[in-house]
Homo-oligomer: A and B are copies of this chain.
């Protein structure tokens, strides 16, 4: 049995708590959040608190708060020599306060409160300052997910910037496609199968091999036509992305 307390009430914390409640060998000791509102719904099944000084001892404290609060929250934990980990993609493990043992438990996924997530498919990237803690975290992570990776703080920052490209920037491409469709009364759902296929394809092909479209073909007629169709705010992006694809293509050939 691993005793875990969760600090934070954002999207990651929310989905993690929901998942941990279903795992037999994990006991949720306590939930802490600055305001009780976002963890209020769990109060029948776990002890909740908004006073960090009342945190009880646990095997693992998982800090899942905004990046710039991690340091101060880790300092405020009223215990020492416990394992304290954070769930951030971009914060170094050593930003955690040194009175406790340090680690990272980074679930690499995009979490929105309105969208259910199957946490057992979420890759968990773990790291710990000492090997025993690593084994404890590995044990916990393997109860949480089928996909556990050892990733150093150094690697994790590159993983995080990659995630920004393949998730946040990708979603922005969806936003632009959606807005163009809306403006011209085209149901956006026509693009769903294309979006899914594009995402699934790269499980089989490397992204460079999967590239298609006017930029890949250097089809300047279509490129120019597209630039004429879209508003100035999208033209700059279209141009730069096209140039970037052409540059990559030339490197690959």
> How far apart sit A72 and B223, CA to CA, in the bound complex (Å)?
21
Select the residue from A202, A203, A240 with max chain B CB neighbours within 10 A: A202
* Interchain CB contact under 8 A, B180 and A161: yes
| Nearest CB of chain B from residue A125's CB, rounded to whole Å | 7
Tell me whether A192 is interfacial, beta carbon within 8 Å.
Answer: yes
> How far apart sit A175 and B173, CA to CA, in the bound complex (Å)?
15
What residues on B are CB-neighbors of A24 within 8 Å? none
Tell me whether A158 is interfacial, beta carbon within 8 Å.
Answer: yes
Q: Which chain B residue lies CB-closest to A192? A: B203
> How far apart sit A84 and B71, CA to CA, in the bound complex (Å)?
67
Number of interface residues of A (CB under 8 A): 96
* Interchain CB contact under 8 A, B240 and A210: no
Specify which of B168, B207, B225 is in contact with A178 (CB 8 Å cutoff).
B207
What residues on B are CB-neighbors of A158 within 8 Å? 180-181, 183-184, 186, 229
* Interchain CB contact under 8 A, A190 and B245: no
What residues on B are CB-neighbors of A222 within 8 Å? 67, 90
* Interchain CB contact under 8 A, A111 and B165: no
Tell me whether A213 is interfacial, beta carbon within 8 Å.
Answer: yes
Tell me whether A97 is interfacial, beta carbon within 8 Å.
Answer: no
> How far apart sit A207 and B189, CA to CA, in the bound complex (Å)?
12
Tell me whether A20 is interfacial, beta carbon within 8 Å.
Answer: no
Specify which of B121, B151, B187, B198 is in contact with A199 (CB 8 Å cutoff).
B198
Specify which of B155, B214, B217, B241 is in contact with A186 (CB 8 Å cutoff).
B155
Rank and list the top 6 A-B pairs by shortest CB-CB distance, nearest first.
A168-B213, A199-B199, A162-B177, A174-B207, A175-B207, A166-B177
